[in-house]
Structure formats: C-alpha cells, structure tokens
Structure 1
Amino acid sequence: MTPQQIDLVKATVPVLRENGVALTGYFYNRMLGNNPHLKETFNMGHQRSGAQAQALAGAVLAYAENIEDPSVLLPVVELIAHKHVSLNIQAPDYNIVGENLLHSISEVLSISMQDPLIDAWAAAYGQLADLFIRTEKAIYDQHQQTKGSWLGWRNFKIAKKVVESDEITSFYLSPSDGGELPKYEAGQYISVRVFVAELGLKQPRQYTLSTSPQADYLRISVKREDEKNDLAAGWVSNTLHHLLEGSEIEVSAPTGNFFLIDPNKRNVFISGGVGLTPMVAMLNQLVTLDMPQPVTFIHACRSKHVHAMKQHIHELKAQYPRLSTFTVYEFPHQSDKLDEDYDATGRLDLNAVDRILLSPDADYYLCGPMPFMAEQQKVLLAQGIAAENIHSEAFGTGGVHH
C-alpha cells in the first residue's frame, strides 16, 4: 500500500466507528443476495440477530486503526482462520467477499467505484486477504499431513446420544465411511452442518469436542436452546437434539487454537454453563497421562439440574487425589446438597476460593459467556496471576462457538 492509500484508509476510521454496522449489514445482504450458496457457510442466526454484522464491523474498524502494522492483529487472524478452515472457506471465496465489500463501501458512502478511497480499500483488503489465505493454507496443509484427518465436510452418524443434564446432551459421532479419526488437541472444536427445516438450508455451527481423542468417535456436548428465542441462536443445536441415533450429519476436521498447552504444569480450569466442555476434554487428556500435576476444576452453573457431567467429575475426583473441585450453583434447588453437589451459591467469586487451589504458577483456562470470563480474568490478574498464563475461549452469539 502507498502512504496515500494508508492515509485514506485511516481517514475512514471515524466513519467506521459511526456507521460500521450499517455498512457491514448492507454488505452481508448484498453478498448473500448475489451468492445464495454462501447461506450454507454463514450462520443465519447470527445474520438475523445482527451479531455477524457487528463482529465484522469491529474487525474492519480494528484493521483500519492498525493499517500501518496489521501484525498486531495476528492472534485474531489465527483465531478466525481456524474457524474459516472448519467451514471449508477457500481462497476464491475472498474474491467474492472483496468485490461485495468494495461495492458496499461505494454504495453506502455514495462514492464512485473510481474514487481513490475504493482503490485504497482494495489494496487494504488484498493485503488482509493474503494474510488470511496464507494462515489458512498452513492449517489446511497440517490437516493433509495428519493421519485420519480430512478437508471439507465428511459424513458422520450419530452413534449414541447421552443426556448429561436437563439441557445438555452428548452426541457420539462415528465416521460413516468407517475410516480413521485424527489425534487432536483437547479443547479443539469441529463444525457440524445439518439441514435446518425452518430455513430450508444447511447450517453450520462450531462445537468443542468434549472428550480427549478416541479411536472410533468424536464427542460433542450440546446445550438445547430455548425455542422461544427469536434470535434463532439455537437453530443447529435444537435440530441436533431432535435427530435420532443413526442420523447422518456433516462434520469438519478438529481445529482451533485453544487447547491444553502443558500437561506437566499445574492446571486450573474455570467454566460457566456449557463452557465446561473443553475443560472436561482437557481433564480427560490429563487422566490418560495419569494426571502428572495437581488440577483444579472450578465450575459455575444454575443448579444440579443443568450441571452436566457431574458424576464423571465425582468419579475422577475419587480416583485421583490430585484433582480438586469447586462448584457454584447460582440458584440451587431444595434437593441440591451443599458439599455433595456444590460448594457455594450465587455467582462465582474466585476470591472466595481457597488460595491453595489457585496456584500462582499454574496455567488458567477460562470458558463461558463473555461477561463471566471477563470477570474471572479481572480477579485472576488482581490476584497476581500473569496475563500470559490465562487462556480463554469465547462462545455464544458474538463469540467463537458452542
């Protein structure tokens, strides 16, 4: 990019702050209208709620603000690149996005396609697209070199469904072709694609793998959403809950950059609600290694009725003295027993947890709703835990997956 083009892109920052969501909303409508096949790649629930337009507006603004040194965005690029790979997004798709983005800027700002600003954004977008394509190629290459892995979508059968709580069911997925499965890192996720009758379309959704690698199945644990929710956040999740054992779905290969980093360190897992799925996967991975270091498993949920995998954690705790747990029920039922089911009530307050369980030299893993994770991170930093030892995974609308 020329210095003049960089200045032009930077000059659009105030416009993006003010009108970014209007621009990206217009862009998505234009692109999906012109390329309806992409509706099976994009989450239409997030389209309807506006979450996708909001997320893209934030990303475009961040890129414009850092146009002189886009390398500061590399951690975010890597995060998104894994998601793109899980959706089988390919290099030519970037041409479709670029063309529609430039036309949207032209149409929303009422400027000619020959305006120097469009040229500047074309150069900026080309630079960003190249960065994504290179990052994604490295991930695709890794899948090709991993035994049992695959590219794109692969058919799987729902071999078994196991009810884990009033809201969460585990799905055991076996490859329809009977072929091998790859070793993956505990904490990684897959994309699942199913036909959603209400839309007349296939829809993808990301779900964390909820156990360590197994020879003949992948497992996801899915929360059923309230069907009265008009934002349609649960289209794929609720479709899955209605599918019978033996049904076929499409699945992408395990990917993602949130996973257990060092099994030989002390590890502390902190989760809220269905955010416990990557934590159980990591814990199960440590079990296969005979739990080399002490582990703390902290979980917050509403009550015993929605406390998934409670029995599994109890059994591991009885078997491994190095495993300590701390459970918080926000609204315990009368039948829930203090000490047996939970340790505290209300919201999770890490300041109320015994400091012995929160080692200053441990790795900390957070997963749950964004406000939950922000609160826990704030407390951990205040307790002197180093920022580089705190790792988090977002989920839900505006987050990464689940």
Structure 2
Amino acid sequence: MASPLDDKTRGIITACVPALEAHGLAITTEMYRRLLANPDIRDLFNMSHQKDGEQPRALALAVLAYARNIDNLGVMAGAVERIAEKHVGLNILPEHYPYVADALLGAIAHVLGDAATPEIMDAWGKAYWFLAEILIGREEQIYVSHAAAPGGWVGWRPFRVSRRVVESETVTSFELVPQDGRPVMRHVPGQYLSFRLDVPGHGAERRNYSISSAPGSASYRISVRRIDNGVVSDWLHDSVKEGTVLQVSAPAGDFTLGDPAPASIVFLSAGVGLTPFMSMLGALDASTARIPVRFVHTTRTPGTEAFGPAIRDLAARGMLRADIFYSRATPQAAQDATGVTLHAGRMTPAWLTQEIDRAATYYICGPDGFMRDTVATLKAAGVPDGHIRYEFFGSAADAALPGAA
C-alpha cells in the first residue's frame, strides 16, 4: 500500500496549482516528447492522440486535478479506476512506470526552469510515485482476476475475425473468436477490448473498442466507425477480412451495467457511442427481470444509423422505448411501424429536460461535446450525480468532462 504523502509535500503540490494552470500543457507535451523517444514505450500509445494533441491535453487536465485534490484524493477514485482499467487493457506493467517518472520530472524541470527548485522536484517525485504505487497495486488486482476468470487471460491473445457485418454506411462489426478454440472471459456489459495492431505502412498501433455483443463465452463483437483519414479504422474497414488474426487483451473498463441493473435506465448516445449500449441491451434482453428502458440516439441520417433493425426488434417486443434523432435528415413520419419515435435535428436540452425521469439511471456515450451538454442538462434538471454515468471516448481532453467526473 502506498505511504501517505506528508503535509509538506502536499502543501508544495497545492502551491504548484497556478503554475500547472499556466504551463500544464507545455509540461505534458514535453513529457510525451521525451517518453515517446523510446520505441518500446511509444508502441504502447495510440499515436493518433499525439498527432492531434489530445493526449497531452488530457494528461494536463489529470495532473491539474491531482494537484487540486491532493488533500482529498478520495474524489479521484473514479479517475484512478478508469486509468487502471485502461492500463490493464494496454498491458502496462510496473517496469514501465520509471520511464514515465523520468519523462514527467524532466519535463517539469525543463518547462519551469529555475522555478523548479529541489523542494518542488522532490515533492513531485513523491507525488508521482504515491499515485503510481496505487495504480500498480490496482492493476495487479485486475490482472490476477483476469487470469483466474473462466476463459480469462493476461497479455495479448490471438483472435480470428470470424464474421464481418456492415451495420451502416459508416459502421462495420467484426466478430472475434479465439484462435486457440478455447472459451473467452465473459465480459461485463459496457467493457471494451484493447488491440495491438500492426498496420502496414504505419507500424504498431493501439486501439480500444467497446464490445457491442451480449456477454458470452465463445466470442466478442466490436463495431467500428470509419473515421476520415483514420489510420486504423480505414485499415479495419478496407483490409481486415474474415480469417484475419488480431492481438487482443482481456475485457476492461468500468463503464458497465450495474448488477443488479438500476430500477430504470435511459441510454443516451450519439454516433458510434451506442456500441456499449448494444452489449447492455443484449444482457437486459437475456435477463428474466424486466425493467423500463429508454433508448435515445442521435445519428446523421437513416443511412448512418447502426443497429437500427436490432433496436426496432427490441421496441416491437416492448423491451424498450426508442427515440432516434436524425441531425441531417427529416423522417417521413413521426413514428415507424415498430413504435420507434423519429425526430428531425439533434436532441436538444429542452427536449431532454421535458423527458427526464429523475429516478432513472442515465448512461451517456458519444462525442465529448454531446456528453458535456447532456451531462449539464441532466444536472441542471436535478438528476443526482450518482444517476449519471458516461464513457470517455479517446483521452477525455474536454476540460468539463474530467472535471465533472
């Protein structure tokens, strides 16, 4: 267990908050420049988040949040769990942490210059290793649980693409079965898989994709949206065929359906953000318990709407009520034959506010702006924080989202 930080160290970290507000992004940018100079470490990262600056922005926000809450680290528990789950998905090990320490402390000294006194550097060294020891301990617990679970594994395991399904103009699903023919670990609805990929012309890449299938012991399904100029999404859509073998780590993530499930649920998604909800809906449909479910989704047009037939089947069987918003199309009717309500335009705060059930638990997934606005609307309407759950795409570089979490 990590030893508590002493009062002097916590005081110095708190005093550094203004410097982090002014120079945090410069520090994390420099940190990644140093860290990624090592090819073995660079291969652990999603490099697209480096090219667009998302990862340094997200880390700058995380470091700032850590400093602001150094006297009350209990509020960081959720963030620590998300980081630990992400690290396990990427197979981060204790021996990787010293590289990060050297890069971060070196970046602080480089950016702050003479202001980075020995006392400040000592305090940040202690603060880093305090958090690192917490993460290492939690990650070890997750690795052990994965190894012990039926069908579980640690490290990278080869999976074969057994089936491809085009879900919409932009989304394709890939069903994955283990190459060794053995069972797979039963995932918790809402979790994701991490992939170690070798993309021709680009080399090593890392990606996480939500599992879009109901829990089972034979296979997983991921559903991937093609992104404009997306290195990995283009490769998956254009080159990965049935029979292609991919390296996969065990399911991870804490954005999951509770057990037992909440008394009533509202799923709010935009774009490909519905993928974890398809896993949750599959689990709810297989359950003998029946709870009220509302499914609200925004997509561009009927052509970009993934899993439309599945949602309509659930609606026709009375398992859920559904609202679909088309941001770039006008539906021909207000409701289709299965009872799904259709809307022109995006979901608005005014519409959501009038539909709110304050007793329900809300699950939200989609682009950062969508999640930020939706969370703000729910909180303004008086929905308790404990009833609002959302999944970060990418690195959560939107300041309002990590802050709210």
Give TM-score, length-normalised by structure 2: 0.90
Whether the 8 Å contact between 2:146 and 2:154 is mirrored in structure 1 is yes
In 2: Cα distance, 1:196 partner to 1:219 partner: 20
Give the fraction of aligned pairs with identical amino acids, expressed as a percent. Answer: 38
In 2: Cα distance, 1:385 partner to 1:64 partner: 29
1:267 is matched with 265
In 1: Cα distance, 2:118 partner to 2:353 partner: 62
Match of 1:278 among 276, 279, 291: 276
Question: Are 2:242 and 1:238 aligned?
Answer: no
2:316 is matched with 318
Question: Are 2:132 and 1:136 aligned?
Answer: no
Q: State the Cα deviation string for residues 209-246 of structure 1 (Å, max 9, x = none).
A: 0011133210000000112xxxxxx2222221121111
SS for the counterpart of 1:206 is strand
Question: Are 2:227 and 1:216 aligned?
Answer: no
Q: State the Cα deviation string for residues 171-211 of structure 1 (Å, max 9, x = none).
A: 00111111111111111111122112342x21111111001
Change (3 A) 1:329 1:397: farther
Match of 2:385 among 384, 387, 399: 387
1:150 is matched with 153
Q: Which aligned pairs between 1:349-364 and structure 2 lie closer than 5 A? A: 349=348, 351-352=350-351, 358-364=356-362
Counterpart of 2:213, as a letter, is T
In 1: Cα distance, 2:17 partner to 2:289 partner: 50
2:346 is matched with 347
Whether the 8 Å contact between 1:326 and 1:353 is mirrored in structure 2 is no
1:230 is matched with none
Change (3 A) 1:291 1:370: farther
Q: State the Cα deviation string for residues 9-47 of structure 1 (Å, max 9, x = none).
A: 2222222111111111111111111x2111211111111
Return the offset for 1:386.
2.1
SS for the counterpart of 1:110 is helix
SS for the counterpart of 2:122 is helix
Match of 2:25 among 17, 21, 26: 21
Change (3 A) 1:62 1:382: closer
Q: Which aligned pairs between 1:187-226 and structure 2 lie closer than 5 A? A: 187-199=190-202, 201-226=203-228
Q: Which moved more, 1:378-387 or 1:156-165?
A: 378-387
Q: Which aligned pairs between 1:1-400 and structure 2 lie closer than 5 A? A: 1-33=5-37, 35-111=38-114, 115-199=118-202, 201-227=203-229, 234-242=230-238, 243-261=240-258, 262-263=260-261, 265-290=263-288, 292-319=290-317, 321-332=318-329, 337-340=333-336, 343-349=342-348, 351-352=350-351, 358-396=356-394, 398=396
Return the offset for 1:365.
0.9
CA RMSD of aligned residues (A): 2.2
Change (3 A) 1:375 1:109: closer
SS for the counterpart of 1:193 is strand
In 1: Cα distance, 2:319 partner to 2:168 partner: 26
In 2: Cα distance, 1:4 partner to 1:78 partner: 27
Whether the 8 Å contact between 1:157 and 1:175 is mirrored in structure 2 is yes
Return the offset for 1:112.
9.9
Change (3 A) 1:65 1:332: same
Counterpart of 1:267, as a letter, is I
SS for the counterpart of 1:160 is strand
In 1: Cα distance, 2:67 partner to 2:105 partner: 14
Whether the 8 Å contact between 1:369 and 1:396 is mirrored in structure 2 is no
Change (3 A) 1:317 1:342: closer
Whether the 8 Å contact between 1:268 and 1:358 is mirrored in structure 2 is no
Change (3 A) 1:110 1:179: same
Change (3 A) 1:165 1:295: same
1:231 is matched with none
Return the offset for 1:333.
5.9
In 1: Cα distance, 2:262 partner to 2:25 partner: 45
Q: Which moved more, 1:287-296 or 1:142-151?
A: 287-296
Count of residues paired in the alignment: 389
Q: State the Cα deviation string for residues 107-155 of structure 1 (Å, max 9, x = none).
A: 2223499822211111111111111111212211221221111111111
Counterpart of 1:256, as a letter, is G
Q: State the Cα deviation string for residues 48-100 of structure 1 (Å, max 9, x = none).
A: 11111111111111112222232221110101110000000011111111122
Counterpart of 2:168, as a letter, is S
| Structure 1 stretches of 4+ moved >4 Å | 111-114
Whether the 8 Å contact between 2:364 and 2:389 is mirrored in structure 1 is yes
